[in-house]
Amino acid sequence: MLKHWLLFNVSFWLLLSCATSPLGRSQLVLMPEEQLSLMGAQAFENVKQKTPLENSPQVNGYINCIASSVIKVSGSATRSWEVAVFREDTANAFALPGGKVGVYTGMLNVAKNQHQLATVISHEVAHVLADHGNERVSQEFALEQGMVLAQSALGSPQTERGQFVMGLLGVGIQFGILLPYSRTQESEADLLGLRLMANAGFDPRESVQLWQNMSQGSNNAETPEFMSTHPSHTTRITDLNREMNQAMTLYQQALNKSVSPQCG
């Protein structure tokens, strides 16, 4: 039924599908939010079935403390946020439509303190807030590739279609397919994430150090997976520094309100 509804309403959707990102960029957003949330939830369950969860209360408490602090200031209380910590040495993290956040324990080897890990989590939450998953799926739909994706949501990640959808949603790399976000989307997530972490009481200056850590890791034999799907760290650091004065103002305002997480 969803297929027929989409077919009969595609012209109407194309007229009304222009949305605006949190940073003012026009976006093509065709998919109903409920459908994207369902796809995100399915993708999240698939990752949890494939990857062992971390059972340490200390590690889970630390990461959830940071994530909840960021989510609290995100203005997205209507989403059903869920955070999972995966026990794997990969330096990676992701967030899915509907508010599903995954962090791999390997990221703790790169993010040396709560502020640096908040950089990563804020970046991923920003992808959700900016509807980047919807935008990617919608772009495929507009190219007449996405209709089959909408017929039965995600389907099995073992199928070619399922792997492609996982890639569109941002976790395809775990299933052998690499579909990184565009540079524009990554830049938006960086800048929106910088504001989020500052509003949450995390020091935005640590975002630069985080990417310097990533850069050092990239000089080793194995590039951190989180970095492998992202643009040049030099460009990223330059852009973050350009926005740092504004972020520091937000950070100081948070401290003045006694917003200062002590996650560890």
Q: Return the bridge partners of 86, or none.
A: 53, 104
Nearest to 64 by CA among 140, 2, 126, 121: 121
Q: Which residue has the higher pLDDT, 27 or 240?
A: 240
Q: Could you report the per-residue pLDDT of 212-224, keeping only the tens digit for each?
A: 898 776 544 444 4
pTM: 0.75
By annotation, the residues acting in catalysis are 124
What is the structure's pLDDT at 86?
Answer: 97
Q: Structural domain boundaries of the chain?
A: 32-256
Report how far Cα 229 is from the mean position of its chain's Cα atoms: 12
| Residues ≥6 apart with Cβ < 8 Å to 39 | 97, 133, 137, 153, 154, 165, 169
pLDDT band for 177, please (50, 70, 90 cuts): very low
* Tens of pLDDT, residues 132-164: 777 676 666 654 444 444 444 445 555 555 565
End-to-end CA distance of the chain: 50
Phi, psi of 28, deg, nearest 5: -95, 115
